[in-house]
Amino acid sequence: MRRFLLFSGFLFLLTGFCTAQSAFIPYDRAYYHLLDRYEILNGDFAPSYHTGFKPLRRDNVTTYLDTIAHDHPGKVDAFNFNYLKNDNWEFSKGETDFSKKPLWKKIYKKPSDFYYYRDKDFDVHVNPVIYFRGGNETAAEATNFRNTRGIELRGSIDRKVGFYTYLTSNEVIFPTWTEEYIEHNGAVPGQGFWKRYGDHGYSYFAARGYFTFQVSKHIDAQMGHDRNFVGEGYRSMILSDFSNPYMFLKLNVNIWKLQYTMMWSEMTADVFLNSRNRPEDGRYPHKWFSLHRLGINIGKRLNIGLFESVMASQADWSYFNPVIFYRWVEHQLGTPDKVMLGTDFKWNFAHSMQLYGQFALDEFVFGEFFGVDGKNSKRNKHGLQLGYKYINVFNISNLDLQLEFNQARPYTYQEKFEYQSYTNYRTPIAHPRGANFREAIGIIRYQPLPKLSLNFTGIYHLYGTDPDETTNMGGDLLKNRLEGTEGLGLYGHTIGQGIENKLLMGNLTASYMLKHNLFIDLGHSYRRHTADNLDMPNVSNYSHLSLRLNIAREAFNY
């Protein structure tokens, strides 16, 4: 940790040479879909940012939107552009809205800000965060709910250092399948630590925060406690936002058609948690995750990214080198640290469609991968994603389709040494399912009216689970990949091995924007789970009504 702070402090000293800086737009799939939608329709990539590593800076997004707003004159698109512009109004070159009747001439002067203050040296935006949800599930004995209250702040100091803070207090009763996930993993997805709330509820305090600065004209930095997401899909096989926030330092180098991202982070190791949700031996141990990604725009419509990452049980100065091959470092150090390599891509075509995908390689033996007898070798471990987006389906305005396929072979993301699996606080940092699965996702988004959005998400899972706690079939990332495999052999490992499970989910949600970033959601979910060890399917129907302000809509799609 000392080395991490020393390196970060060195970069902080460079802020004396900074230019104007911005906070990032929190990663919200509905919000970011609008950004993807307009880039695909426009046909050219945004010149001010790459979408392969999220979240994105507010100023960069606004610069791009200001240049293309006039190209989409429809009623709904005009509303969306006005919404995005007002949400980032401090960076927009055009005129933005003022509230007609601000409270006490100070509160909600701008539709997007409860309160703001700006002068030449200081800029701050303050907003409340609220999420009230009530729901009923056929498989549950009690009505579930969510009660979230908090605050969000963002701004800049001297127009050089940007900052962001998010704090909430939460009491939640989840749907039954999410509760089962929490009890098995010992952590709330996206949050980590929790305390009991009643018989079936969870109470937790959520906090995220960071500062940003411009190191030079082409290099910007972010340091803080938050989540990140790599890729264009609904899921990520490289790094997703599913686990809880972690401490990190991130540098982005943007030159010509290249974006080179370097991230060093400190995560929480997968300690055993007792019934009070505390480590038996005291303080939580840490592990260290580093990632490099190089993205390049080839022409105006194809982007290809190359990445490498390492999960280590101990921090080492060698991993702070921003321009080095991690596998070489691992060999030179003589460590067993877990290194993964891979690629991602997106291709926008026909001014309405996008193909995208990812390939994450954990371990690979050429002869066994291509040989007839070794195709199902335990040592061939990888994750794969392939997706397709279609904007304005059949020329129906604001009707968008997304199809996605994901899979991970058994034992992918697991490791044989302590604290080196691809997890953070006992939850996967890539796909929620871990490994040993195939998944198909279909999403239909339709915005028939400016303030009304409809979303249908359908998911099919085929995955394998362990028959008992002592057996490891390669899906549970909290298990050692060398333990629990006695007698299974090196070959014959297929996706879905162990107890075969099949999961079908369908979620329909209608969201109406009452005021800027104030939504009311009405939704229904159907979930059907079958498995070889179940006498009959587990079927759940879950309906909910929510009111939320300045917070993304929750989803339990796993």
Q: In the predicted model, is pLDDT for residue 283 greater than 70? A: yes
Q: What is the pLDDT of residues 247-261, one digit of tens each?
A: 999 999 999 999 999
How many CB atoms within 10 Å of residue 462? 16
- The pLDDT > 70 percentage for the chain reads 90
List, in sequence order, every beta strand (DSSP E) within 421-498: 423-424, 427-428, 437-449, 452-465
Q: Token digits for 44? A: 């050219």
- For 10-14, 78-82, 354-358, which range has the lowest pLDDT when averaged over its residues? 10-14
pLDDT at residue 365 in the model: 75
Mean pLDDT of 277-294: 80
SS3 call for 14:
helix
489: left (phi over 0), alpha (psi -120 to 50) or beta: left
How many C-beta atoms surround the C-beta of residue 476 within 10 A?
21
| Cβ-count burial 322-339 (b if 16+ within 10 Å, e if not) | eeeebeebbeeeebebbb
Please state the rounded mean pLDDT for residues 21-44.
94
Checking phi first, is residue 108 left (phi over 0); if not, alpha (psi -120 to 50) or beta?
left
> What CA–CA distances, in Å, run from 217 to 18, 46, 55, 62, 294?
8, 18, 20, 18, 18
The confidence score (pLDDT) of residue 275 equals: 42
Beta-ladder partners of 220: 214, 252
pLDDT at 140: 74
Pick the CATH number of 2-549 from 2.40.160.10, 2.70.70.10, 3.10.105.10, 1.10.287.3510: 2.40.160.10
Share of the chain above pLDDT 90, in %: 68
Q: What is the mean pLDDT of residues 157-181?
A: 94
* pLDDT reported for residue 335: 61
Residue with tokens 């990812």: 358
Cis peptide, bond prior to residue 55, ω within 30 of zero: yes
Q: Hey, is 2 helix, strand or coil?
A: helix
Q: What are phi and psi of 136, to 5 degrees?
A: -135, 130
Q: Which H or E run contains 166?
A: strand 161-172
Angle at 181 between CA 142 and CA 169, to 5 degrees: 65
- pLDDT of 333 reads 57
How many Cβ atoms sit within 10 Å of the Cβ of residue 141?
8
Mean pLDDT of 154-162: 90
What was the pLDDT predicted at 58?
95
Average pLDDT over every residue of 470-483? 92
Look up the pTM and report it.
0.93
pLDDT at 409 over 80: yes
In whole numbers, what is the pLDDT of the chain averaged over residues? 89
Cβ atoms of residues 519 and 543 within 8 Å: no
Most confident of 99-103, 372-376, 443-447: 443-447
* pLDDT value of position 479: 92
Residue range 42-59: mean pLDDT, rounded: 93
Lowest mean pLDDT across 136-140, 243-247, 318-322, 384-388:
318-322
What SS3 state is found at 63?
helix
pLDDT at 4 over 60: no
Place of tokens 């800029």: 123
Domain boundaries, the chain: 2-549
pLDDT at 73: 76
Q: Predicted confidence band at 371 (pLDDT cuts at 50, 70, 90)?
A: low
Residue, of 324 and 529, whose pLDDT is higher: 529
